[in-house]
């Protein structure tokens, strides 16, 4: 983290940039994390503060309907009460919980392009079984069964982790387990559906490739697979994976 906030007598001054922030160009307030002489702190930054800008990132091939921006902070002056309360420890906990509201985030794919996207796909195949475009041979059936199996396993994992969270027993490495599995499987299901449809699968007539493309973003912004694997590996071995 290279963004820095410096405390002067009566204010904070922040300098730095952050790529890839959803809705950054339309938000009224940005939550910005920065290094300070007292450790990492979180700041509430009204986006009309002089020195703040959020240019839109264009030419995306994935999640094209969603606005993604770069946050640029050049000598942004903030009052002392713009710091998130609770000291550095709480700020970090807030940051981690912000990236890991697991129940909500694992359900997001359900609502959109992810697991239930897969489920819609499976239902869609069923509904279209009279459709001449859908291959009639038996091979898609094992695929559909496997997809349904992974879909249900993903639901159960999300449900289990959501219950642990409700019970205040959820650990961050378990969040990584859920995200690693469910996003990876959602993407795999969408790709498999694309393959079952053959050449039709790359057309706009069927939305599966659009879902797969959007899930490529989810695979990154929910934390990349490699980083989740490092988190899980560290929890299993006790060895620092991030050195």
Ligand X SMILES: Cc1cc2nc3c(=O)[nH]c(=O)nc-3n(C[C@H](O)[C@H](O)[C@H](O)COP(=O)(O)OP(=O)(O)OC[C@H]3O[C@@H](n4cnc5c(N)ncnc54)[C@H](O)[C@@H]3O)c2cc1C
Task: Please tell me whether residue 159 adopts helix, strand or coil conformation.
Answer: helix
Q: In the bound complex, what is the minimum distance in angstroms from residue 51's beta carbon to ligand X? A: 20
The DSSP letter of residue 243 is: -
Q: In the bound complex, what is the minimum distance in angstroms from residue 129's beta carbon to ligand X? A: 35
Task: Please tell me whether residue 22 adopts helix, strand or coil conformation.
Answer: strand
Q: Which two tokens stand for residue 132?
A: 């001449």
Q: Which is nearer to ligand X, 158 or 231 (CB)?
A: 231
Q: Which residues bind ligand X (CB under 6 A)?
A: 20-22, 63, 68, 217, 220-221, 224, 226-227, 230
Q: In the bound complex, what is the minimum distance in angstroms from residue 60's beta carbon to ligand X? A: 7
Q: In the bound complex, what is the minimum distance in angstroms from residue 221's beta carbon to ligand X? A: 4
List 11, 222, 226, 239, catalytic entry? 222
E strand map for 23-134: 29-36, 39-46, 52-53, 68-78
How far apart (Å, rounded) are the C-alpha atoms in residues 52 and 56? 13
H or E element in which residue 5 lies: strand 4-7
Q: Which is nearer to ligand X, 18 or 125 (CB)?
A: 18
CA 81 to chain centroid, in Å, comes to 29
Q: Which is nearer to ligand X, 54 or 63 (CB)?
A: 63
Q: Burial-class residue 5 by CB neighbours within 10 Å (0-12, 13-18, 19+).
A: buried
Q: What is the distance between the terminal CA atoms of the chain, rounded to a whole angstrom?
A: 15
Active site includes 222?
yes
Q: Which is nearer to ligand X, 174 or 217 (CB)?
A: 217
User: Which residues are marked as active site?
Assistant: 222
């Amino acid at each position: 983290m290279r963004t820095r906030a410096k405390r002067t007598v009566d204010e904070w001054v922040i300098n730095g940039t952050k790529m890839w922030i959803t809705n950054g160009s339309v938000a009224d307030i940005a939550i910005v994390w920065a290094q300070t002489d007292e450790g990492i702190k979180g700041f509430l930054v009204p986006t009309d503060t002089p020195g703040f800008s959020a240019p839109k990132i264009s030419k995306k091939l994935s999640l094209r309907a969603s606005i993604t921006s770069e946050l640029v902070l050049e000598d942004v002056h903030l009052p002392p009460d713009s710091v998130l309360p609770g000291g550095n420890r709480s700020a970090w906990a807030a940051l981690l919980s912000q990236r890991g509201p697991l129940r909500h985030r694992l359900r997001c794919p359900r609502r959109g392009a992810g697991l239930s996207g897969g489920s819609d796909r499976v239902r869609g195949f069923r509904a279209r079984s009279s459709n001449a475009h859908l291959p009639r041979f038996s091979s898609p059936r094992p695929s559909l069964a496997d997809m349904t199996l992974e879909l249900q396993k993903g639901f159960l994992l999300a449900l289990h982790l959501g219950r642990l969270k409700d019970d205040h027993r959820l650990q961050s490495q378990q969040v990584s387990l859920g995200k690693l599995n469910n996003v990876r499987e959602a993407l795999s299901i969408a790709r498999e559906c694309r393959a079952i449809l053959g050449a039709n699968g790359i057309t706009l007539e069927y939305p599966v490739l659009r879902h797969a493309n959007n899930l490529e973003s989810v695979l990154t912004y929910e934390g990349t697979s490699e980083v989740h694997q490092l988190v899980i590996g560290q929890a299993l071995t006790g060895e620092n994976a991030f050195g």
